[in-house]
Structure 1
Amino acid sequence: MADPEDKNEENIAGKFYVDTQCIDCDLCRETAPNNFTRSDDEGYSYVYKQPENDEEEAQCREAMEGCPVEAIGDDGE
């Protein structure tokens, strides 16, 4: 389970985040490309835009459920 105390610093404030357990597998960026992007310098994903509609929310949830290392979290904000 993702740790809200261990969020990657690039995450934009809001409900979804990626923590430092990310292994840069690309699943979240493929599943929710409008919300997740990659830190090329550090080699991990982070949330650059929180979902703005039901479709983006569903894609973020799908990415969170599919993350192989459970690095995506939902603060429920």
Structure 2
Amino acid sequence: MASVEDKYPDNVPGMFYVDTQCIDCDVCRDTAPNNFTRNDDGGYSYVYKQPENDEEMEQCMEAMDACPVEAIGNDGAE
């Protein structure tokens, strides 16, 4: 389960974040490309834009559910 204490500083403020458990598998970037991107130097994903509509929200939730190491969190903050 993702930990807000371990989230990458690259994440923009808001409800979704990626923490240090990320294994750079591409699942979130493929599932929600409008919201997740890659830190090329660090080799991990992070949230560069919080969802702004229902479609993006659904994609972020799907990415969180599909993450094989549960590195995506939702702290409920909007």
TM-score using structure 1 length: 0.99
Q: Which residue of 2 aligns with 1:26?
A: 26
Query: Where does structure 1 differ by over 3 angstroms across 4 or more consecutive aligned residues?
Result: none
1:36-76 deviations in Å (ceiling 9; x for gaps): 00000000000000000000000000000000000000011
Q: Which amino acid aligns with 1:35?
A: N
When the two structures are aligned, how many residues end up with a matched partner? Answer: 77
Unmatched segments (≥5 aa) in structure 2: none
Gapped runs of 5+ residues in structure 1? none
Alignment of structure 1 residues 50-69 onto 2, 5 Å: 50-69=50-69
SS in 2 for 1:38: strand
User: C-alpha separation between the residues in 1 aligned to 2:59 and 2:8?
Assistant: 20
Question: Given the two structures, how large is their TM-score scaled by the length of structure 2?
Answer: 0.98
Query: Which residue pairs with 1:17 in the alignment?
Result: 17
1:39 matched residue in structure 2: 39
